[in-house]
Structure 1
Amino acid sequence: MDGINKITNSNNIFYKIKEILPGLAVSVLIGLASMVLSHVVPKLGAATISIFLGMFIGNVFLGQEVFQKGYKFSETDLLSYSIVLLGATLSVSTLMELGFNGILFVVLQMSVTIAGALYIGKKLGFGQDFRFLMAAGNAVCGSSAIAATAPVINAKDKDKGIAITIVNVTGIFLMFLLPVLTQKLYSHEAVQTSAMIGGTLQSVGQVVASGAMVSEPVKDLSTIFKIVRVILLVAVVFLFGHLKNKTNHDIIEEEIEDTKKGKIKVPWYVLGFFITCALFSTNIISPEVSEMCKALSNKFEIIALAAIGLRVNIKDLIKQGKAVSLYGLFVGTLQVVSAVILINILL
């Protein structure tokens, strides 16, 4: 029986690799091509080239279903590995650059986003579940936050799918807008620009992509701002579960028990980031190994950004209904305006 199970597991692993391979290969090739082209057009940089080249190839040539699982793996898994490796290049003192005001900025920005998304959604006539999903996705970490929130509030799959789409659409537009806006507002000063990008954009990938369009230091610091938001995922999910079921004590107790059991988890790459950061801070990871980690992290990141571009479906962006599109527009605008105000006050 053990032999049969081993064979079955091996077959499953082989099948999964076979599914991932086509999209992964395309992502890697685009990433490598972007690295080469960045030497020809250094002002654009490999990150920016990778996204746009991915968008072009994905929408014109290679958007077929056979590539999608590989694209998703390249975007999510490789980016996660990149973030863990990034931790091996940053010391605790670097993380402390955020300071009390930086963390307060993140908490207030998330609070404004949640309150605003709930209020705007109600005024536009959307149901409670959809408003919760939009608030979580925009305030924390895009699709991951929506996926974590949906089962706690018993959201319908349709609401979940639409929320993921519109949150990603909003993030894509802001991903390209914020580098331009921060140049005008802050002349790309590192802390303020990083706070705007890391405190506003919806997904980790969008933060990395947008930060990379500005500079390497901004990309790294933006990621730290974003990680603080991701850490607060558990609190946000529990909040929405409580708001949805505040009159049902049995369900609340069940949610508390689920949280204790770890069913609502902080993503593994956040824990990995802090572990590698601690190892570097205590000199267990040497400067030489740290340099290797940074080089590998950058390569994973560029391949992941190619996959992000490959997964952008321009037709889907155009198809979104007017009310849903307005919802995303209003929430995105609120995030940018509140970030500008809070940065001026706190940073």
Structure 2
Amino acid sequence: MNKKHKDFTKIIKDIMPGFVVAVLVAGLSMLLAKFIPKLGAASIAIFLGMFVGNVFLNQEIFQKGYKFSETDLLSYSIVLLGATLSISTISEIGISGVIFIVLQMTITIIGALYIGKKLGFTDNFRYMMASGNAVCGSSAIAATAPVIEADDKEKGIAITIVNVTGIVLMFLLPVISQFLYNHDLTQTSAMIGGTLQSVGQVVASGAMVSEHTKDLSTIFKIVRIIFLVVVVFALGHLKHKSNKEILKEEVTDIERGKIKVPWYVIGFFITCALFSFNIITQNVSMICKELSNKFEIIALAAIGLRVNVKDLIKQGKAVSLYGLFIGILQIVSAIILIGILL
């Protein structure tokens, strides 16, 4: 018992320095977001974390705390996010809206995998870019990474690029929607909610148009998030199917459909179901939403703190092109699908 207590104390001591830094960066990001709401706390947390981590606090003493803040808190955030999503939400955008989302996500995933292959990126990086752009940015990448056994460096770079792409589109989509649809509520909301990478970016971009657009855009986004588990399963299956060096018993497991899925993806699905059946009340859901948001911002700050800018610059041109091409693909496919379906 004494040994266990000592081990626990050591773990806390190892984690605390980096965790405190991540919390402080997240807190400062939330404060700054009040003055620049269009950028949002999540985006600020990543870039502020990158600045602090690369210029000041990149010493070894902080690394375990950064890793805990990134992996554990983002996992809890994903589970809590499920408690804010109801399956009945789908009805608010209709069958045509759901079809639009499914087709838009499918095109994004296939396009991201194809473009990444042509640019010479690894399978793991392509799968994370596909899930991050198709579903919900950082959370989707965090859910996908363990399933495909991606390393932390690739995960950090993928999250950064997906968020950078999202920030650019966040400002661009209201302008495109004004030009194409004169800010028609359904079409503009579909463009914003069906394309942007993170919930925060959707809320910020929709708010640039109107309150109603923000609300409907968020519903389109929520429907995408509901498909998170499906996307993680699909990409996990693709990864293991294409791996030539897996053991025979692993092949057998895959053929039987036994794909290893992180606990928090299952947790996300369970909390979503509990909220859908009103077992999780609205009041509890609001608390979960607040906690999920705070955990995500701390985790994103930690991700920024762990991103090595030198590594990012080393891959700069190809990675930037990757993000650009996916962004263009998403806009073009959304325009075509909105024209056909909405």
Q: TM-score under structure 1 normalisation?
A: 0.72
Change (3 A) 1:346 1:317: farther
2:210 is matched with which residue? none
Change (3 A) 1:230 1:287: closer
Which of 25, 30, 33 does residue 30 from structure 1 map onto?
25
Q: What percentage of residue pairs aligned between the two structures are identical?
A: 49
Give the CA deviation at 1:32: 2.3
1:237 is matched with which residue? 236
Which of 48, 60, 68 does residue 63 from structure 2 map onto?
68
Q: Distance between the aligned counterparts of 2:58 and 2:3, measured in 1? A: 31
1:255 is matched with which residue? 251
Is 2:154 aligned against 1:179?
A: no
Q: Distance between the aligned counterparts of 1:299 and 1:281, measured in 2? A: 23
Q: Which amino acid aligns with 1:276?
A: T
Is 2:287 aligned against 1:295?
A: no
Name the stretch that deviates more: 132-141 or 15-24: 132-141
Is 2:263 aligned against 1:264?
A: no
CA contact (8 A) 1:238 1:255 kept: no
CA contact (8 A) 1:227 1:270 kept: no
1:82 is matched with which residue? 77
Give the CA deviation at 1:174: 0.8
What pairs with 1:11-26 in structure 2 (closer than 5 Å)? 11-26=6-21
Give the CA deviation at 1:259: 6.4
2:224 is matched with which residue? 225
Change (3 A) 1:109 1:311: farther
3-state DSSP class of the match of 2:227? Answer: helix
2:126 is matched with which residue? 135
Change (3 A) 1:24 1:227: farther
Q: Distance between the aligned counterparts of 1:287 and 1:163, measured in 2? A: 37
When the two chains are superposed, the root-mean-square deviation of aligned CA atoms in Å is 3.8
Q: Which runs of 4+ in 1 moved over 6 A?
A: 250-253
3-state DSSP class of the match of 1:196? Answer: coil
2:52 is matched with which residue? 57
Structure 2 residue ranges without an equivalent (≥5): 132-139, 178-182, 208-213
CA contact (8 A) 2:82 2:272 kept: yes
Give the CA deviation at 1:68: 2.7
Change (3 A) 1:309 1:269: same
Give the CA deviation at 1:55: 3.1
Q: TM-score under structure 2 normalisation?
A: 0.72
Give the CA deviation at 1:322: 5.2
CA contact (8 A) 2:15 2:62 kept: yes
CA contact (8 A) 2:75 2:142 kept: no
Q: Distance between the aligned counterparts of 1:343 and 1:182, measured in 2? A: 14
What pairs with 1:102-251 in structure 2 (closer than 5 Å)? 104-105=99-100, 107-109=102-104, 111-113=106-108, 115-116=110-111, 119-120=114-115, 123=118, 126=120, 131-140=122-131, 141-142=140-141, 145=144, 147-149=146-148, 164=155, 167-186=158-177, 189-197=188-196, 201=197, 207-208=198-199, 210-211=201-202, 213-214=204-205, 217=215, 218=217, 222=221, 224-243=223-242
1:278 is matched with which residue? 273
3-state DSSP class of the match of 1:174? Answer: helix
Give the CA deviation at 1:89: 3.0
Q: Which amino acid aligns with 1:172?
A: N
3-state DSSP class of the match of 2:194? Answer: helix
Q: Distance between the aligned counterparts of 1:224 and 1:133, measured in 2? A: 25
